[in-house]
Amino acid sequence: MKRLLKFVGYFFLGIIGLILLAVAAIYINFSIQSSRNQGNFGEAAPELTDNGFSYRDLNKNGQLDPYEDSRKSTETRVEDLLSQMNLEEKAGLMFITIIANSGDGSIMDMPSPSNPFSFLSPTNSFMLGKQRMNHFNIFATASPIATATWHNNIQQLAERTRLGIPVTIGSDPRHAFSQNIGANLSAEGYSQWCEPIGFGAIGDSMLVKEFGDMARQEYLATGIRLALHPMADLATEPRWARTNGTFGEDAHLSAEMTKAYILGFQGDTLNKQSVACMTKHFSGGGPQKDGLDAHFFYGADQAYPGNNFDYHLIPFDSAFAVHTAQIMPYYGIPVGQSSEDVGFAFNKDILTGLLRNQYGFDGVICSDWGILTDRKVFGMTMMLSTGWGVDDLSPSEKALKALDAGIDQFGGESSPELLIQLVKEGKLTEDRLDVSVRRLLRDKFTLGLFDNPYVDLDKVARVVGQEAFVKAGELSQRKAIVLLKNGKESQAKMLPISGSLKVYAEGISADAIQQYGGTLVDQPEQADVAILRLQTPWVPRSGGKSMLENFFHQGDLDFKGEEKDRILHILNTVPTIVDIYMDRPAVIPEIAASSAALLANFGASDEALLDILYGRFEPSGTLPFELASSMEAVENQKEDVPYDSHNPLFEFGFGLTYSEGNP
């Protein structure tokens, strides 16, 4: 026995030793690579004066070049810089992907245990110095001050490149509740608002513009200059996983919200105080066949059984009217809508024929993430290439086709070598690269990044998460809550509740209940009232060969089996208030019938909900989509047509107040 225990001990010591050796090897490799990459950087740009005019000598040649002169026109500066750029610098400019950032604000050139992504991502110096990239989007961040500090350090590194081209930092939405690494991030130190779908429930364009302006200020304070949003897509297919990022299924409501959103972030014109908007997903990513998302091969097709393609363009009309800086197409194939059934990023009829020629859009068109290459980490596929309709092409052939279609920049990719090789092989002209590089540089100059890309660290704490912004966000959470039912037939209204009640609760904190005077009990049978906070059901999928599937809520919208029976048992045991977070429109006929009160929220804290339940705030939201009466009705509706299910349980625009009874 002792011999066995000794063997086991040696075995585990050996395993630990191998792990330590592997970690040491990783750190040594990163250290060697970092040292090599640093050789691609020179000195920082000095501050010089020319006839009393101060400027940053970005190319370190000791003289004032037109692109360094803020008094020159944007076009003059663009053309001067373009004439100095080499092929590698042009190619690097045409890629944007996620970059790792540290928890303490330092350059991420060594992996950090506090940031697992840093073990999987190229180092900061490699991406800037070797690949010549200077557009990035950030994923999870430790804190606003750490983000701002890291941003300044990245800009200092960019300043040391040959031409000193500054970095543009972009971000997916990060002001709400939901967390999906493929679409949006929950607020971390920023003010927390309802989801975009909640703005559809509120229906107040002035509030949306106010949100955009406050979010703009928080982004600016931390160095984020590109918003990878808004989503102008329409949620006409209720099963679609990205419904919560839209403003709902009505095109005219979405158009109004989209316009206000962009004005809040960009202002009337793009300028040095703007955050540029990358509006998505042209020409409308909502009508996914059977609601399956186009991140995955089984969701490649967009369907138009209602012949309603043009309806999905209406919100983009508003985006163009207020000069959205950039556009992102989605992954899907608009089946039957163009001369070739290929994904939007490769579809010349859509990007050149419709977007460029008919709409006259001359801003940046950036592809959605990963249309060229598969993403693998330690042999595991994070995401398949989403080049739907051109699956048989190589990555370089896909890049060539996308450029011919009208793409300016490749999202979620870091492969400038593909474009370099295409040019060297004579398959792609450098003049074609220049067309896209001009657009990308134009935005950098207009945003003022060449003149001063740095942020004031002393302002971060005063701006980000300031009281006025936080309170405005909390107000939006309350305004977006929709009261769907208040009391059963022939019974008194359930809400607002009052008095010291015994409460059975699920999905809500005990502290919150007690702060509002409730006494928490363990069983429904012991309670005067039950409060259940639920979420729209979804069906986990596998087979898409992507870890991202775990973050996308797809499939059926109804509660089933034991979980449904359990909920209904509570509803039939004690008067029950049901609140459902509707990232998608739930199918809940039995729950609606048996509940004493029913509400829908679109991102709301416990306190926001309890303020409604206890009458401290009057419910005022209305549904931004209809709620179908059955899954059969969902399956029979048309993907591209709004509010068209048979005999809906609750119609689009429905919502009660406390002064109104049930219909």
The token duo for 503 is 């409460």
Catalytic residue among 233, 250, 368, 611: 368
Active site residue 511: no
DSSP character for 184? B
DSSP character for 495? -
Residue pointed to by tokens 């500054």: 166
Stated as kind and residue range, the H or E segment containing 568 is helix 561-573
- Please give the full DSSP string across 629-652, using - where no structure is assigned: S-HHHHHHS-TTSSS-SSS-SB-T
Q: Which residues pair with 85 in a beta bridge?
A: none
The token duo for 85 is 């750029």
Q: Answer for the pair 588, 631: CB distance below 8 angstroms, yes or no.
A: no
Quick check: bond before 496 cis, omega within 30?
Answer: yes
Calpha distance 409→437 (Å, rounded): 9
Q: In what order do the strands lie in the sheet with 529-535?
A: 482-486, 597-601, 576-581, 529-535, 502-506, 519-520
In terms of Cα–Cα distance, which of 50, 495, 466, 601 is closest to 609? 601
Q: Cβ neighbours of residue 550 under 8 Å, at least 6 residues apart?
A: 540
Residue 598: left if φ>0, alpha if ψ -120 to 50, beta else—which one?
A: beta
Number of helices (H), then strands (E), belonging to the chain: the values are 21, 20
Calpha distance 62→68 (Å, rounded): 11
Calpha distance 653→252 (Å, rounded): 13
Active site residues: 368
